[in-house]
Amino acid sequence: MILDHTHSERLYAEACQVIPGGVNSAPRSILPHLMFTSASGATLTDADGHRYIDYHAAFGPALLGHNHPEVNRRVRDLWDAYSAAGVGSTQLEIEVARKIQQHVPCAERVLLCTSGSQATFHAVRVSRAVTRRKKIVKFQGCYHGIADSLLLNVASPADKVGHCDPGSAGILPEVLEQTLVCAFNDLDNVEQAFEWHGSEIAAVIVEPIAHNVGCLSPQPGFLEGLRELTRRHGALLIFDEVVTGFRHHLGGYQTLCGLTPDLTTLGKAMANGFPIAAVCGRAEIMNHFNTRPGGDTYFAGTYNGNLVGCAAALATIEMLEREPVHARVFALGERMRRGLSEIHQRLGVRAMVAGFGSIFLTYFMEGPAITYTDLLRNDGARFVDCRRRLIDCGVFMLPVNLKRNHISYAHSEADIDRTLEAYEHVLKQVAKGHS
Ligand SMILES: Cc1ncc(COP(=O)(O)O)c(C=O)c1O
């Protein structure tokens, strides 16, 4: 049955009259034009009253589930006491920074901001300030937010891989020239970049698991190699843990892989959906920021360390400390991945299941999925088609090629099993060629 989206479409048309394209963030534009009116736990409700099991999780923050009562209560509790003096620091800011320092191995010092993009922007800027070098190495398939130096070569089409593929008009070519794009999981490629430009490279920035194209896990030795190469050549290593931080471990993926970068960026699951982010790292580097007298690298923001984000972050982190959130979402992730693989086998579908912990997705291709070029074999049309059909079955996975799915602490085994049932039904429909 195709769901009726009349009210969503009406709201969307209204939004388009004032907001270009009807959305305030480009990746939110999807077909069908769903508009959601409420979210609770593992479910979303759209403007037509349809409920969905949600795996989009607003691109990742909702690790505890939407509208978590404890997080919301902590935000509400500070409401009457709320003030934004805009001078000095509050007790809450200190507590959040302490928690990060306590859990994230590289975090000798912490600065709070309000989005992942700000965090990566500052990490790049301070890397350039500290090393007095210009070039940044990033990886094909990794996304680090909207900064000019980083917005290139994410989900590039085949003909753009190996070339500069800016994610926007308006970025100066002189800026793009200073970013070298290497292949994820190809250490030889990074070594070559260092051979040619070693003395010019300020930093290597990497998502330790490339989650912005689903899930490319680092091959054994890859992250270790980046650590070794950056040290040898006097460049900094930045782990962008905006997705992996808090979601995979309280101390980020660096805790799981036992490697300590020089700088780390955090956001998303840090506050279960409230706006806060952080850049943290070695004291010697962080002390370059001019929040400290004598620092030479500008760091500011009217809403940095805002109390709403801080209260939510503290509540979220304390919840992650107290409850077996990671054990639970990892187990549900396993159940989902196993179930998907069994369905593919049963139906003889050429597909591979990828993921880590609470993250999962199906690529419609045979493995392996090691580097971005492997993902060019994915059948993008089928990927999107299946997800659109899942929407009609009450399951919401963003219907956009290569997007990952997230499981939260609010999902149940029954949610996973219902999703698997719906998924099998959809694959059978597709096999029969239903329109
Ligand atoms: C790995 C990574 N870094 C940075 C960002 C940018 O974060 P924000 O959208 O909060 O600016 C994102 C956003 O998706 C991300 O996935």
Supply the DSSP symbol for 289. Answer: B
Name the active-site residue from 12, 52, 55, 143. 143
pLDDT of the residue at 80 = 74
Nearest to 263 by CA among 249, 272, 273, 252: 252
The two structure tokens encoding residue 231 = 């040290």
Using a 6 Å cutoff on CB, does residue 240 contact ligand 1? yes
* Ligand 1 atom nearest 241 alpha carbon: 1
Give dist(CA 141, CA 154) in Å, integer.
4
Whole-Å CA distances, 228 to 102, 187, 190, 234: 25, 11, 11, 10
Which domains are seen in the chain, by residue range? 6-67+324-432 (3.90.1150.10), 70-322 (3.40.640.10)
Supply the DSSP symbol for 299. Answer: -
Using a 6 Å cutoff on CB, does residue 114 contact ligand 1? no
Give the mutation target among 268, 303, 400 for probing the ligand 1 site: most ligand atoms within 8 A of CB. 268
Distance 54 CA to ligand 1 centre (A): 20
Give dist(CA 214, CA 30) in Å, integer.
17
Give dist(CA 404, CA 395) in Å, integer.
14
pLDDT of the residue at 380 = 98
Q: Provide CB contacts within 8 A for 157, sequence distance 6+.
A: 165
CB 104 within 8 A of CB 266: yes
* Tokens 């190699």 found at: 225
Distance 116 CA to ligand 1 centre (A): 5
Using a 6 Å cutoff on CB, does residue 243 contact ligand 1? yes
Question: Around Cβ 39, how many Cβ atoms within 10 Å?
Answer: 18
Using a 6 Å cutoff on CB, does residue 120 contact ligand 1? yes
Nearest to 190 by CA among 140, 133, 155, 252: 140
CB 263 within 8 A of CB 282: yes
The two structure tokens encoding residue 14 = 């209204």
Distance 59 CA to ligand 1 centre (A): 9
Concerning whether 403 is annotated as a catalytic residue, the answer is no
Provide the b/e sequence for 200-236 (b: ≥16 CB within 10 Å).
bbbbbbbbbbbbbbbbbbbeeebbebbbebbeebebb
* Ligand 1 atom nearest 244 alpha carbon: 1
Distance 115 CA to ligand 1 centre (A): 7
Question: Which residue type, as a one-letter code, is found at position 9?
Answer: E
The two structure tokens encoding residue 349 = 């579908």
User: How do beta strands 277-281 and 109-113 pair?
Assistant: antiparallel
Distance 144 CA to ligand 1 centre (A): 5
Q: What is the pLDDT along the chain (435 residues), one digit of tens a residue?
A: 789 999 999 999 999 999 999 999 999 999 999 999 999 999 999 999 999 999 999 999 999 999 999 999 999 998 777 667 788 999 999 999 999 999 999 999 999 999 999 999 999 999 999 999 999 999 999 999 999 999 999 999 999 999 999 999 999 999 999 999 999 999 999 999 999 999 999 999 999 999 999 999 999 999 999 999 999 999 999 999 999 999 999 999 999 999 999 999 999 999 999 999 999 999 999 999 999 999 999 999 999 999 999 999 999 999 999 999 999 999 999 999 999 999 999 999 999 999 999 999 999 999 999 999 999 999 999 999 999 999 999 999 999 999 999 999 999 999 999 999 999 999 999 988 765
Concerning whether 268 is annotated as a catalytic residue, the answer is yes
pTM of the complete model beyond 0.85: yes
pLDDT of the residue at 432 = 85
Q: Tell which phi-psi region holds residue 421, choosing left (phi > 0), alpha (psi between -120 and 50) or beta.
A: alpha
Using a 6 Å cutoff on CB, does residue 212 contact ligand 1? yes
Torsion of CA 243, 249, 251, 257, to 10 degrees: -90
Whole-Å CA distances, 67 to 73, 116, 418, 422: 10, 21, 22, 25
